[in-house]
């Protein structure tokens, strides 16, 4: 097993009286491809936000390679190599695919000069090897000059992931990267993510277990803020508590009716 890269220890996050994440322990190991699944409202996004630094837990700690990062900002975590996917805002909608990648490239490797670059100088970085190679990996070459607002949802999602991967993070965190995509777009996103296996540690949060079936090595199932199962796909699928809460199959009631 790889060494521990991200760890949550007994973290709790409340919203008023609601316990969105309830005393969760979680470990992500180097080069692992792990998934968190659970029904809507299970606390997946809140937990994700505790890992990325959007929220600070009321209780518990988050460790990165043994260092306490519980109170570090998202930017500080990115600098440590923990990166979530970009959410392309309307600001970048009128820039091309390649220009967005150039911005991400500069954010990662030449932080100070990013604003010098805007609009006038961006073109000269279109042939930067890292950018060309990422366009290739993420199947974005055919749309490289297209404005983001004219991309399909699948293309946009691939660009969002490409912008994160460009910074060569150690850990890549994705919250529902498949949401809203068609089946073929889902396969497209999973295909590009598979190319990162062994290069990055990947944690994917997903609502539908079937989407990540052949993708993740280890699953964690959340329900009402707690982790109710952890292990391989089959193991989680057949776990009594997962059957009861996630699939709403009550084994004891069924058994009583036989």
Ligand X SMILES: Nc1ncnc2c1ncn2[C@@H]1O[C@H](COP(=O)(O)OP(=O)(O)O)[C@@H](O)[C@H]1O
Provide the binding-site residues for Mg ion, judged by CB under 5 A: 44-45
Q: Which residues are near ligand X by CB under 6 A?
A: 15, 18, 20, 38, 40-46
> Which of Mg ion, ligand X, none has residue 38 at its interface (CB below 5 to 8 Å by kind)?
ligand X
Minimum Å gap between C-beta 230 and ligand X is 16
44 versus 77: smaller Cβ distance to Mg ion: 44
The residue (of 40 and 87) whose beta carbon lies closer to ligand X is 40
Measured distance CA(194)–CA(216) in Å, rounded: 10
46 binds, among Mg ion, ligand X, none (CB under 5 to 8 A by kind): ligand X
52 token code pair: 């990325």
Partner whose footprint covers residue 188, from Mg ion, ligand X, none (CB < 5 to 8 Å by kind)? none
d(CA 41, CA 126): 42
Cβ proximity to ligand X: between 177 and 188 the closer is 177
| Eight-state DSSP code of residue 127 | T
The Cα–Cα gap between 65 and 80 comes to 10
Q: Torsion angle of alpha carbons 143, 146, 148, 150, nearest 10°?
A: -100
- Work out how close the CB of 47 gets to ligand X at its nearest, in angstroms, rounded to a whole number: 7
User: By C-beta, is 131 or 216 nearer to ligand X?
Assistant: 216
> In terms of Cα–Cα distance, which of 215, 255, 207, 171 is closest to 39?
207
Residue 231 binds which entry of ligand X, Mg ion, none, CB below 5-8 Å type-dependent = none
CB atoms within 10 A of CB 78: 19
CB 132, min distance to Mg ion, A: 34
**Taking Cα atoms as reference points, which of 140, 187, 146 lies closest to residue 163?**
140
Compute the least distance from the CB of residue 45 to Mg ion, in Å. 3
Confirm if 202 and 208 have CB atoms less than 8 A apart: no
User: 88 Cβ partners below 8 Å, 6+ apart?
Assistant: 100, 148, 156, 159, 160
The CB-of-253 to ligand X minimum distance in angstroms stands at 26
- Residue 43's binding partner among ligand X, Mg ion, none (Cβ under 5 to 8 angstroms by kind) is ligand X
Of 36 and 69, nearer to ligand X (C-beta) is 36
Which of Mg ion, ligand X, none interacts with 42 (beta carbon under 5 to 8 A by kind)?
Answer: ligand X
* Contact residues for 66 (Cβ-Cβ < 8 A; gap 6+): 4
Pick the closer one to ligand X by CB: 46 or 100: 46
CB of 11 to ligand X, least distance (A): 13
């Amino acid at each position: 097993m790889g060494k521990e890269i991200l760890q949550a220890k007994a973290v709790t996050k409340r919203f008023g009286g609601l316990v969105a994440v309830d005393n969760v322990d979680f470990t992500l190991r180097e080069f692992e491809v792990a998934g968190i699944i659970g029904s809507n409202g299970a606390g997946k996004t809140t937990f994700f936000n505790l890992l990325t630094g959007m929220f600070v837990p009321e209780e518990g700690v988050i460790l990165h390679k043994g260092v306490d990062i519980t109170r570090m900002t998202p930017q500080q975590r990115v600098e440590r190599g923990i990166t979530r996917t970009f959410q392309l805002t309307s600001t970048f909608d009128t820039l091309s695919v390649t220009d967005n990648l150039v911005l991400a490239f500069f954010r990662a490797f030449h932080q100070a000069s990013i604003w010098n670059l805007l609009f006038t100088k961006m073109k000269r970085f279109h042939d930067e090897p890292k950018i060309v190679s990422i366009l290739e990996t993420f199947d974005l070459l055919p749309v490289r000059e297209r404005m983001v607002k004219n991309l399909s949802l699948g293309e946009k999602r691939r660009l969002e992931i490409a912008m994160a991967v460009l910074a060569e993070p150690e850990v890549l965190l994705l919250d529902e990267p498949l949401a809203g995509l068609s089946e073929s777009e889902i396969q497209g996103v999973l295909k590009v993510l598979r190319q990162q296996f062994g290069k990055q540690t990947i944690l994917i949060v997903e609502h539908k277990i079937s989407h990540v079936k052949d993708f993740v090595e280890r699953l964690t199932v959340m329900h009402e803020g707690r982790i109710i199962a952890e292990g391989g796909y089959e193991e989680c699928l057949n776990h009594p508590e997962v059957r009861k809460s996630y699939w709403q199959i009550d084994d004891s009631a069924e058994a009583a009716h036989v």
